[in-house]
Chain A
Amino acid sequence: MSKTGLDLSACQLADAIRDGELRAADVCGTFLEHIREQDPKLQAFVTVLEDDAMRQAESVDRDHSHAGAALLRGVPIALKDNLCTRGVPTTCSSKILEGFVPPYDATVVARLRGVTPFLGKTNLDEFAMGSSTENSALFETRNPHDPGCVPGGSSGGSAAAVASGMAPLALGSDTGGSIRQPAAFCGVVGLKPTYGRVSRYGLIAFASSLDQIGPFARTAEDAALLLDAIAGPDPRDATCLATAAPSCRAALSKPFEKLRVGLPREYFQEGLSAPVAQALAATRQSLQDLGCSMVDVSLPHTDYAVPTYYILAPAEASSNLARYDGVQYGLRAPAGNLIEQYLNTRSAGFGREVKRRIMLGTYALSSGYYDAYYLKALKVRRLIHDDFSKAFAQADVLLTPTTPTAAFRFGEKVSDPLQMYLSDIFTISANLAGLPALSFPCGMDGHLPIGAQLIGPALSEARLLRIVHEYQKDTNWHLRRPQSILRSPQKRKRTPGEAG
């Protein structure tokens, strides 16, 4: 298997393809075969692009004129199914986008097209709303480390694909933890970049002021390579930063600086499971061994992050999702008149969690409630942002758990939205403050991975990746493969009306 690269990192694959040791088509073929084998059990992919991916890989092999131009040439990738792909259905794992085929590529997809063959589109919680991928209207994705556990969400498909070796790289999106939380549950590296570092053009919006696209990979180096390929100014996204950030991969080869690592005390209190607390303590020791110093810091408004998020994100979502009205594309339910068309289409097309958030957001923006909810939440968001500014005066990065526990079991939280919302308690603040944050594997709770999170000041992705790169030289948590991917029944299709 090694000759076609399943066990190689994305960087090693890219080097081997560049040096002619491996053909991109062989690499792609191997991953597709692995998908054929594994995905019926894991259900990470909504769409597998067998022919497309092979065509792209073959064209990489044929065309050597760009050799060396793109570091990732020939390394196949999986894309979360809320990223628009020209000519390929993009579902957001929702019934309401049934039949929708975007006539254009998202900016990140356009930047990778012709470079990295697209293996397929991965499953997510409908419209990225959820923390377990159980809210997908299509099917559930399983955690490769334990098929009885969720992969996390909303980018559960992408995380599971990378963790199971079905893809060396994947893209996800993170609005409140949707990259980092599944990365932690599946034992891979997941990075949410600084708000504005990566163009959102073509990312189907959940909450515009919080959404960011970011990489999944097995190593920090691979994540750096992918971030470099997708980041940078985009004239199509007015919220995308106008200045190009320096290369993250180049930063990895620089000498390791001894950094001050802040430990926000609000992140190490009750609710943290013992294995997670132990894994974090060990991580802290590892970083100290690398020469980092630990600083106690405080983020006093942490308690308000979840409620603030659950005002702002649904408010924006209620408006962003209003366009799914059956007029232009996607599902249109039979109706006798216009109002019925709206009601029937949206009633049939959206799942329960999406409807819940649309209602929450509509309420928060309603006349008479705006000041008490939305405006207040905006003010608290500012305070949370200021908390971080103060903490970064004392520390270069912050170290926290990514999640309070390892992956939970199917059905464990889906019936209790509040419990589900609290699984993002450690990841939401970075979105509210627009900061880069990264989750990396740092231990195991039995056979389930545990993730640690690093949060840095704006545009400090290279610093975060540099730390994890150094950490991964001395540790092997990132090399733990799922023990066994157990036999499993056929794909479980959702029935309409089931919690989704």
Chain B
Amino acid sequence: MKYEPVIGLEVHVQLKTASKIFCSCSTEFGREPNLNTCPVCMGLPGSLPVLNRRAVDLAISAALALDCRISPFFKFDRKNYFYPDLPKAYQISQYDLPLATGGRLEISANGSSRNIDIERIHMEEDAGKLVHAEPGHGVPKGTSFVDYNRAGTPLIEIVSRPDLRSPAEAHAYLDALKHILRYLDVSDCNMEEGSLRCDANVSIRPAGETALGTRSELKNLNSFKFVEKAIEIEIERQTEVLESGGRVIQETRGYDSAKNTTHPQRSKEQAHDYRYFPEPDLPGFTVTPDQIERFRSALPELPAARRRRFQTKLGLPAYDAEVLTAESDTADYFEKVVGLGADPKKTSNFIMTELLFNLKTAGLPAGRSPVTPARLAELLKLQADGKISGKIAKDIFPAMFEKGVSAQEVLKDQKIELIADAGSLDEPIRQVISENPKAIEDLRAGKLTVLGFLVGQVMKKTRGQADPKIVPQELKKRLGI
């Protein structure tokens, strides 16, 4: 039988705030254990949470960018369970009145793009981290420590509808999500540092069936690649179960990336009763339509919209638009150069070939390029005016980048003369015409292939400084063809 996979993703994203969600402790990653803590995030008796407004702002921006409806009233709830990394033995989260509901995310996979529905986005605090002692450190075997640095880090959980139909689509969803959230500067979305985490709900059903099959929830997915692989292997496992006449049971399964297998962790019967109830320490929050509009108008243009604008308004090919909008920094840079009068396609070519290569080598974002948009615009103008050739432009760019100087300075430094105007080509062209009568004759007879040869001769006489685009025009003008 042919089965159709049905996949939904629950993605936890760490909001990029300076301080934690309910106290003023730093969220800095990688500090000494328990350094970023206070009575509030340690859950000491008597301490109370106070909501970090910056976290709400970031969460609302993310929700609007994902086309969600912002709840006019939202509140926090307590999710009760015991675990040593959870200092209060409850997590402050959102249950029945989350921050936002009903959005969508455009993904492109297998050469086509479509919208995936988002069910809800809610805010919550992160837990701490257990550190298990290595044997032989003077502590009894099996001793564990708790590091509360991460406890109280602000998170949003983005829950998709079960709209994804393949492991590749799941990967594409994560790519698109990461793209938008990084673009908004809402999160670093760094899976290694834990600023993005993902659980996958996976089920299968006979093709054509509309009812959902029994799902398993996959955990411990540590990279986008592993998300894809774990879903793949889980689909295979569920298919085998059904093919052999068995039944898929609802459970949580862990992914083992070394073995590329999933194994049962917790069945439905063992599931916690979290005893959610409204967090009495935090009043509910109202968001007015005016506030939502202000957030919406403050949103930067999102990658998909910008990509479309680059194509329709600026005439860029789809590929260029995609590359330029991959990072908002690059797109901003591009727009600044074009804003200074440069041709969009020529600018795009130059950025994609020269600039991005140099930036990558130097490990810099476009926003910190030593060649400023103004300097690139100036360089492109020299070329457009025929004062330097494209080749020269490319040749001097690394020096501009390395020394952080203008094109004029590099030209002066390297004693490259500007081609003042077409008049200065008069003498070299005159010489080439008189030195190559046979070729001239062929050209006049209509054999256009010799034009390249003649251009090459002129270039040689100008030591490569003539613009190879202008030379043929000037040649033809001189010959009256």
The answer, yes or no, to whether A117 is at the interface (CB within 8 Å) is no
- State in angstroms the CA–CA spacing of A323 and B78 once bound together: 13
The answer, yes or no, to whether B42 is at the interface (CB within 8 Å) is yes
The answer, yes or no, to whether A410 is at the interface (CB within 8 Å) is no
- State in angstroms the CA–CA spacing of A327 and B144 once bound together: 11
- State in angstroms the CA–CA spacing of A106 and B42 once bound together: 16
Q: Tell whether, in the assembled complex, residue A209 and residue B280 are in contact, meaning their CB atoms are under 8 Å apart.
A: yes
- State in angstroms the CA–CA spacing of A366 and B46 once bound together: 25
Contacts of B44 in A (CB 8 A): 84, 102-104, 328-329
The answer, yes or no, to whether B162 is at the interface (CB within 8 Å) is no
The answer, yes or no, to whether B43 is at the interface (CB within 8 Å) is yes
The answer, yes or no, to whether B90 is at the interface (CB within 8 Å) is yes
Say whether, besides A103-B39, A374-B277, A323 and B89 are in contact (CB < 8 Å): yes
- State in angstroms the CA–CA spacing of A327 and B146 once bound together: 9
- State in angstroms the CA–CA spacing of A236 and B48 once bound together: 7
The answer, yes or no, to whether A367 is at the interface (CB within 8 Å) is yes
Contacts of B269 in A (CB 8 A): none
**Minimum C-beta distance from A435 to chain B (A):** 17
Interface of chain A residues 200 through 215 with chain B (CB within 8 A): 200-205, 207-209
The answer, yes or no, to whether B373 is at the interface (CB within 8 Å) is no
Q: Tell whether, in the assembled complex, residue B46 and residue A84 are in contact, meaning their CB atoms are under 8 Å apart.
A: yes
Contact of A365 among B48, B51, B275 (CB under 8 A): B275
- State in angstroms the CA–CA spacing of A102 and B51 once bound together: 23
Q: Tell whether, in the assembled complex, residue B275 and residue A362 are in contact, meaning their CB atoms are under 8 Å apart.
A: yes
The answer, yes or no, to whether B358 is at the interface (CB within 8 Å) is no
Contacts of A200 in B (CB 8 A): 46, 48
The answer, yes or no, to whether B257 is at the interface (CB within 8 Å) is no
**Minimum C-beta distance from B127 to chain A (A):** 12
Say whether, besides A104-B39, A362-B275, A367-B275, A327 and B46 are in contact (CB < 8 Å): no
A464-477 interface mask toward B, CB cutoff 8 Å, 1 = contact, 0 = none? 00000000000000
Contacts of B288 in A (CB 8 A): none
Residues of A contacting B: mostly: loop
- State in angstroms the CA–CA spacing of A235 and B50 once bound together: 8
Say whether, besides A238-B281, A328-B87, A365-B275, A203 and B46 are in contact (CB < 8 Å): yes
B52-96 interface mask toward A, CB cutoff 8 Å, 1 = contact, 0 = none? 000000000000000000000000001010101001111000000
Contacts of A103 in B (CB 8 A): 39, 44
Say whether, besides A103-B39, A365-B277, A374-B277, A322 and B87 are in contact (CB < 8 Å): no
Q: Tell whether, in the assembled complex, residue A319 and residue B78 are in contact, meaning their CB atoms are under 8 Å apart.
A: yes
Q: Tell whether, in the assembled complex, residue B280 and residue A323 are in contact, meaning their CB atoms are under 8 Å apart.
A: no
Contact of B281 among A202, A235, A239 (CB under 8 A): A239
Q: Tell whether, in the assembled complex, residue A319 and residue B80 are in contact, meaning their CB atoms are under 8 Å apart.
A: yes
The answer, yes or no, to whether B451 is at the interface (CB within 8 Å) is no
The answer, yes or no, to whether A126 is at the interface (CB within 8 Å) is no
Q: Tell whether, in the assembled complex, residue B89 and residue A315 are in contact, meaning their CB atoms are under 8 Å apart.
A: no
- State in angstroms the CA–CA spacing of A316 and B146 once bound together: 26
Contact of B82 among A209, A318, A325, A367 (CB under 8 A): A325
The answer, yes or no, to whether A268 is at the interface (CB within 8 Å) is no
Contacts of A82 in B (CB 8 A): 46
The answer, yes or no, to whether B428 is at the interface (CB within 8 Å) is no
**Minimum C-beta distance from B107 to chain A (A):** 35
Contact of B88 among A97, A235, A322, A329 (CB under 8 A): A322
A46-88 interface mask toward B, CB cutoff 8 Å, 1 = contact, 0 = none? 0000000000000000000000000000000000001110000
The answer, yes or no, to whether B49 is at the interface (CB within 8 Å) is yes
Residues of B contacting A: mostly: loop
- State in angstroms the CA–CA spacing of A366 and B277 once bound together: 10
- For B22, the closest partner residue in chain A by CB is A238
Interface of chain B residues 258 through 296 with chain A (CB within 8 A): 273, 275-277, 280-283
- State in angstroms the CA–CA spacing of A16 and B275 once bound together: 55
The answer, yes or no, to whether B47 is at the interface (CB within 8 Å) is yes
- State in angstroms the CA–CA spacing of A100 and B45 once bound together: 10
Say whether, besides A209-B280, A322-B82, A342-B82, A106 and B273 are in contact (CB < 8 Å): no
Q: Tell whether, in the assembled complex, residue B45 and residue A323 are in contact, meaning their CB atoms are under 8 Å apart.
A: yes
The answer, yes or no, to whether A338 is at the interface (CB within 8 Å) is yes
Contacts of A102 in B (CB 8 A): 39, 44-46
Say whether, besides A319-B90, A323-B88, A201 and B47 are in contact (CB < 8 Å): yes
Q: Tell whether, in the assembled complex, residue A316 and residue B39 are in contact, meaning their CB atoms are under 8 Å apart.
A: no
Chain A residue total in the interface (Cβ 8 A): 43
A403-445 interface mask toward B, CB cutoff 8 Å, 1 = contact, 0 = none? 0000000000000000000000000000000000000000000
- State in angstroms the CA–CA spacing of A319 and B49 once bound together: 15
Contacts of B277 in A (CB 8 A): 315-316, 319, 365, 370, 374
**Minimum C-beta distance from A239 to chain B (A):** 6
Contact of B50 among A84, A92, A208, A236 (CB under 8 A): A236
Q: Tell whether, in the assembled complex, residue A208 and residue B273 are in contact, meaning their CB atoms are under 8 Å apart.
A: no
Contacts of A203 in B (CB 8 A): 46
**Minimum C-beta distance from A357 to chain B (A):** 15
Say whether, besides A322-B89, A323-B88, A342-B82, A238 and B283 are in contact (CB < 8 Å): yes
- For A127, the closest partner residue in chain B by CB is B45
The answer, yes or no, to whether A90 is at the interface (CB within 8 Å) is yes
A232-255 interface mask toward B, CB cutoff 8 Å, 1 = contact, 0 = none? 000111110000000000000000
- State in angstroms the CA–CA spacing of A316 and B281 once bound together: 10
Contact of B42 among A100, A328, A338 (CB under 8 A): A328
- For A374, the closest partner residue in chain B by CB is B277
**Minimum C-beta distance from B272 to chain A (A):** 10
**Minimum C-beta distance from A172 to chain B (A):** 15
- State in angstroms the CA–CA spacing of A103 and B38 once bound together: 9
Contacts of B281 in A (CB 8 A): 205, 208, 238-239
Q: Tell whether, in the assembled complex, residue B43 and residue A323 are in contact, meaning their CB atoms are under 8 Å apart.
A: yes
Interface of chain A residues 2 through 16 with chain B (CB within 8 A): none
**Minimum C-beta distance from A173 to chain B (A):** 11
Q: Tell whether, in the assembled complex, residue B282 and residue A322 are in contact, meaning their CB atoms are under 8 Å apart.
A: no
Q: Tell whether, in the assembled complex, residue A238 and residue B80 are in contact, meaning their CB atoms are under 8 Å apart.
A: no
Contacts of B273 in A (CB 8 A): 366-367
Interface of chain A residues 89 through 105 with chain B (CB within 8 A): 90, 92, 97, 100, 102-104
- For A97, the closest partner residue in chain B by CB is B45
Contacts of A325 in B (CB 8 A): 82, 84, 89
Q: Tell whether, in the assembled complex, residue B84 and residue A201 are in contact, meaning their CB atoms are under 8 Å apart.
A: no
- For A199, the closest partner residue in chain B by CB is B48
**Minimum C-beta distance from A354 to chain B (A):** 14
- State in angstroms the CA–CA spacing of A83 and B46 once bound together: 8
- For B38, the closest partner residue in chain A by CB is A104
Contacts of B87 in A (CB 8 A): 323, 327-328
Say whether, besides A209-B280, A327-B146, A367-B273, A322 and B80 are in contact (CB < 8 Å): yes
Q: Tell whether, in the assembled complex, residue A204 and residue B49 are in contact, meaning their CB atoms are under 8 Å apart.
A: no
**Minimum C-beta distance from B46 to chain A (A):** 4
Contacts of B276 in A (CB 8 A): 365
Contacts of B283 in A (CB 8 A): 238-239
- State in angstroms the CA–CA spacing of A342 and B49 once bound together: 25
**Minimum C-beta distance from B285 to chain A (A):** 10
**Minimum C-beta distance from A237 to chain B (A):** 5
A positions within 8 Å CB-CB of B: 82-84, 90, 92, 97, 100, 102-104, 106, 200-205, 207-209, 235-239, 315-316, 318-319, 322-323, 325, 327-329, 338, 342, 362, 365-367, 370, 374
Sample of 10 more A-B contacts, CB < 8 Å, known A90-B46, A100-B45, A370-B275: A82-B46, A200-B48, A208-B281, A238-B48, A238-B282, A238-B283, A316-B277, A322-B88, A365-B275, A365-B277
Give me the 7 closest cross-chain CB pairs, A-B, nearest first.
Answer: A322-B89, A208-B280, A365-B275, A209-B280, A202-B46, A204-B45, A84-B46
12 example contacts (A-B, Cβ-Cβ < 8 A) are as follows A90-B46, A102-B44, A236-B50, A238-B49, A238-B50, A319-B275, A323-B45, A328-B43, A342-B82, A365-B277, A366-B273, A367-B273
